[in-house]
């Protein structure tokens, strides 16, 4: 088995050609090569290989065919890779005996394998020596095709051939500064499967698979990589002013921040504080778009059907529609910025390079059980006094509930099938509490927005807009009482888990 450690970037097509000859990049330039690569990716109609974290391709290089099996690098930049020369364009499963594909290679599998998509790439590669490390810098142009669907490829890969991963990131930062390169955590295989599915648009979080024998630090790496992929996968939807894309990127950032909080006692304090600050910046850039979008669609638009004078409803809708455009442009600008590109590189280097601390002893199974038990106890205790909490205290309780829910999601794979029912029941209860407290928090924000709109409206619309604002505030105040009862009821029912993660190797 070979292992490849690489970073992949998207670069504007106009800048790709200049990257290999650009001066000022780290390291000395070495041998340069150019080749055409035509690769066909195989899987079953149900994408069985992909579901097991594997890809199988046959690549034509001049008059040779090379078969490659790759295993996804869960929680790491390094992936397992097994290459064998084969006689033709079809896969030869006899040559997968010493690969992870062996466990899936039933007698029927060869008949079930079909071409899923193809990549046609023109690759220009250059050897780079950065300090004591050998790095290959490759520029890829071409396309991915699946039937009539086609996706262009314009990207750059850095592969660490030997040496230190810090040198890989040193060169990555140079490329970000000088070519505007943006880290892309999706492989060509992932892009191909997205094309097959007709994907594009907002992306939800992917599943997380942990084994009970992992250390907390190893488990954190897997979780953190997954959450960062969730963030980066929604960059294009945010740029396209897609409301769901903004929401999903926010969820990705919140999940990463929650993971940092859950594993705080094993993470290096100084570097973690810097990462948290940058993630908080990104959250702040996305938040207004999401908040105004929810206010406009869930509070303002419905009042036009509830007897509110048209003039007032129209005035307040126009005002917040303009604010929505401004807020979405702000989110778009953040994701287009050099600061966002640097954040992606900083976070992934921090995930890869963080030092161990004493608390990283034992297994993730025991660590997860302790986290869930302790946090559920605290939330339930605070929830007993829900009616006495002020809005800020309720907001903090909501964040605690959200972190427990994310923890249950992160650790789900550690539980046996039977025990997952108990975990699912816990998650359902947490979701109801989070939803009720979240709506209460939204109402507070909406009240401020509506009040400001009424006070600052132009004289011609002031009375009509004030009336519309008053209707919104009144309706939400009435709904708040029911939400408080719902949250209090579910908090009272909140119970610690009887089940504990089972010792799966």
Query: Among the three residues 169, 184, 200, which one is the final residue of a domain in this structure?
Result: 200
HEC-encoded secondary structure of 432-445: HHHHHHHHHHHHHH
**Residues 6 or more apart from 238 whose CB is under 8 A from it?**
245, 246, 249, 286, 331, 332, 335
261 in the same domain as 176: no
Sign of the alpha-carbon torsion through 176, 181, 185, 188: negative
Domain-embedded: residue 119: yes
- By the 8 A CB rule, do 327 and 288 touch? yes
Domain-embedded: residue 235: no
Domain-embedded: residue 210: no
> What pLDDT is recorded for position 464?
58
120 in the same domain as 12: yes
> What pLDDT is recorded for position 505?
44
Whole-prediction pTM: 0.90
75 in the same domain as 190: yes
- N residues, the chain: 505
Q: What CATH number has the domain bearing residue 287?
A: 1.40.20.10
Count other C-beta atoms under 10 Å from residue 353's C-beta. Answer: 12
Give residue 94's domain range: 2-200
Nearest to 363 by CA among 269, 500, 264, 208: 500
Nearest to 189 by CA among 283, 107, 118, 271: 118
Helical packing angle, 310-335 and 269-295, nearest 10°: 150
Buried b (16+ CB within 10 A) or exposed e, 399-418: bbbbbbbbbbbbbbbbbeee
Query: Among the three residues 200, 230, 253, which one is the final residue of a domain in this structure?
Result: 200
Buried b (16+ CB within 10 A) or exposed e, 131-149: eebbbbbbbbbbebebeee
- By the 8 A CB rule, do 472 and 466 touch? no
Count of structural domains within the chain: 2
Domain-embedded: residue 503: no
> What pLDDT is recorded for position 483?
82
Domain-embedded: residue 211: no
Q: Which helix (H) or strand (E) holds 340?
A: helix 338-353
Residue 305: DSSP 8-state: G
Sign of the alpha-carbon torsion through 325, 234, 196, 84: positive
At residue 241, φ and ψ (nearest 5 deg) are: 60, 45
Q: Which SS3 state, helix, strand or coil, does residue 328 take?
A: helix
> What pLDDT is recorded for position 476?
57
474 in the same domain as 407: yes
Q: What CATH number has the domain bearing residue 64?
A: 2.40.320.10
Q: Which SS3 state, helix, strand or coil, does residue 482 take?
A: helix
Q: How far is CA 132 from the centre of its chain?
A: 33
263 in the same domain as 185: no
187 in the same domain as 65: yes
Q: Which SS3 state, helix, strand or coil, does residue 240 take?
A: coil
How far apart (Å, rounded) are the C-alpha atoms in residues 67 and 85? 6
**pLDDT means per 10 residues in the chain (505 residues)?**
85 83 70 94 96 95 95 74 95 94 91 97 94 94 95 94 95 93 94 89 92 93 96 96 97 98 94 96 96 86 68 78 96 98 97 66 90 94 88 90 96 90 92 88 72 66 60 62 84 82 58
Nearest to 131 by CA among 92, 167, 107: 167
Degrees to nearest 5, angle at CA 207 with 205 and 209: 145
Domain-embedded: residue 223: no
**Residues 6 or more apart from 501 whose CB is under 8 A from it?**
212, 364, 365, 366, 368, 369, 411, 414, 415
293 in the same domain as 157: no
293 in the same domain as 186: no
Strand partners, 41: 57, 117
Q: Give the tokens for residue 108.
A: 């029927």
Domain-embedded: residue 308: yes
Domain-embedded: residue 194: yes
288 in the same domain as 196: no
How far apart (Å, rounded) are the C-alpha atoms in residues 231 and 248? 7
- By the 8 A CB rule, do 426 and 497 touch? yes
192 in the same domain as 295: no
Strand partners, 82: 69
At residue 36, φ and ψ (nearest 5 deg) are: -100, 130
Query: Among the three residues 200, 234, 266, which one is the final residue of a domain in this structure?
Result: 200
318 in the same domain as 186: no
Nearest to 440 by CA among 387, 381, 364: 387
Q: How far is CA 78 from CA 159, 160, 164, 261, 491, in A?
A: 10, 10, 13, 26, 43
329 in the same domain as 196: no
């Amino acid at each position: 088995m070979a292992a490849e450690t690489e970073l992949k970037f998207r670069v504007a097509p106009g800048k790709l050609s200049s990257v290999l000859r650009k001066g000022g990049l780290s390291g000395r330039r070495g041998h340069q090569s150019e080749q055409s690569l035509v690769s066909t990716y195989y899987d079953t109609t149900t994408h069985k290989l992909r579901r097991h974290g594997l890809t199988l391709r046959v690549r034509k290089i001049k008059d040779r065919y090379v078969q490659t099996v790759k295993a996804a690098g869960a929680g790491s930049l390094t992936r397992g890779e097994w290459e064998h020369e084969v006689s033709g364009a079809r896969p030869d499963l006899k040559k997968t005996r010493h690969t992870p594909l062996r466990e899936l290679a039933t007698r029927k599998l060869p008949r079930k394998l079909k071409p899923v998509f193809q990549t046609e790439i023109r690759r220009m590669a250059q050897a780079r020596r950065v300090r004591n490390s050998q790095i290959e810098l490759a520029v890829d142009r071409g396309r991915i095709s699946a039937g009539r669907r086609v996706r262009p490829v314009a990207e750059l890969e850095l592969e660490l051939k030997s040496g230190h991963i810090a040198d890989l990131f040193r060169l990555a930062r140079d490329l970000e500064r000088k070519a505007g390169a943006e880290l892309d955590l999706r492989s060509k295989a992932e892009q191909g499967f997205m094309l097959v599915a007709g994907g594009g648009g907002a992306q939800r979080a992917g599943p997380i698979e942990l084994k009970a024998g992992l250390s907390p630090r190893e488990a954190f790496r897997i979780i953190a990589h997954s959450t960062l992929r969730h963030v980066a996968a929604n960059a294009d939807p945010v740029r396209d002013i897609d409301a769901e894309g903004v929401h999903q990127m926010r969820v990705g950032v919140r999940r990463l921040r929650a993971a940092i909080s859950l594993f705080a006692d094993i993470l290096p304090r100084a570097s973690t504080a810097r990462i948290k600050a940058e993630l908080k910046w990104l959250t702040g850039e996305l938040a207004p778009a999401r908040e105004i979008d929810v206010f406009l669609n869930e509070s303002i638009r419905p009042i036009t059907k509830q007897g509110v004078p048209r003039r007032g409803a129209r005035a307040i809708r126009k005002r917040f529609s303009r604010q929505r455009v401004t807020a979405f442009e702000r989110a778009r600008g953040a994701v287009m910025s050099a600061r966002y590109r640097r954040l992606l590189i900083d976070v992934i280097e921090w995930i890869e390079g963080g030092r161990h601390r004493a608390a990283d002893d034992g297994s993730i199974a025991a660590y997860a059980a302790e986290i869930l038990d302790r946090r559920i106890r605290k939330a339930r205790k605070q929830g007993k006094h829900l009616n006495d909490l002020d809005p800020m205290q309720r907001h903090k309780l909501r964040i605690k509930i959200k972190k427990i829910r994310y923890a249950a999601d992160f650790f789900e794979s550690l539980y046996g099938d039977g025990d997952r029912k108990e975990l699912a029941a816990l998650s359902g209860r947490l979701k109801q509490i989070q939803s009720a407290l979240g709506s209460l928090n939204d109402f507070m924000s909406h009240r401020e927005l509506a009040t400001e709109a009424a006070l600052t409206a132009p004289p011609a619309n002031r009375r009509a807009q004030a009336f519309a604002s008053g209707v919104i505030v009144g309706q939400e105040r009435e709904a708040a009482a029911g939400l408080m009862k719902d949250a209090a009821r579910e908090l009272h029912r909140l119970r610690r888990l009887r089940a504990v993660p089972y010792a799966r190797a």
